């Protein structure tokens, strides 16, 4: 009986160790990306955060309206900076010094366009 218990315990430990290493390999540390955007109001904040939430691999996104910076934590196995940049530009917002296409910017609500008072 003692050998059965030892075998069970050893098997349990080996399974635990194997699963820890498997999870570590499958889930590398999240990367953080911070970029400046053209966000100016609560609608901008909400739109950017919701847009990024829809990107597979984005774990967390936060928009700071006062600094106009967007912080994103993402899984580098599922997405990358280029994909995040493309989504932000397509939503009509700037990504650092890169401006969105005129047709994407035109789709923004009036309050989200530069130099327009929005009252949010």
> How far apart, in whole angstroms, are the C-alpha atoms of residue 107 and residue 100?
11
HSE (side-chain half, CA atoms, 13 Å) at 59:
14
Domain chopping of the chain, boundaries: 31-112
CA distances from 21 to 29, 76, 86 (A): 13, 18, 33
Question: For all residues of the chain together, what is the average pLDDT?
Answer: 81
pTM (two decimals): 0.71
Query: Mind listing the pLDDT tens digit for each residue in 65-98?
Result: 999 999 999 999 999 999 999 999 999 999 999 9
Backbone angles phi, psi at 113, to 5 degrees: -90, 145
Fold assignment, 31-112: Alpha-Beta Plaits (3.30.70)
Give the pLDDT band (50/70/90) at residue 115: low
Q: Which of 7-16, 53-62, 110-119 is the least confident region?
A: 7-16
């Amino acid at each position: 009986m003692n050998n059965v218990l030892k075998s069970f315990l050893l098997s349990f430990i080996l399974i635990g160790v194997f699963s820890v290493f498997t999870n570590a390999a499958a889930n590398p540390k999240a990367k953080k990306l911070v970029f400046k955007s053209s966000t100016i109001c609560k609608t901008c904040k909400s739109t950017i955060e919701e847009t990024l939430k829809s990107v597979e691999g984005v774990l967390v996104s936060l928009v700071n309206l006062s600094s106009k910076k967007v912080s994103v934590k993402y899984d580098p196995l599922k997405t990358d900076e280029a994909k995040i940049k493309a989504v932000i530009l397509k939503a009509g917002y700037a990504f650092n010094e890169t401006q969105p296409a005129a047709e994407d910017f035109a789709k923004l609500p009036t309050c989200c366009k530069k130099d327009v008072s929005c009252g949010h």
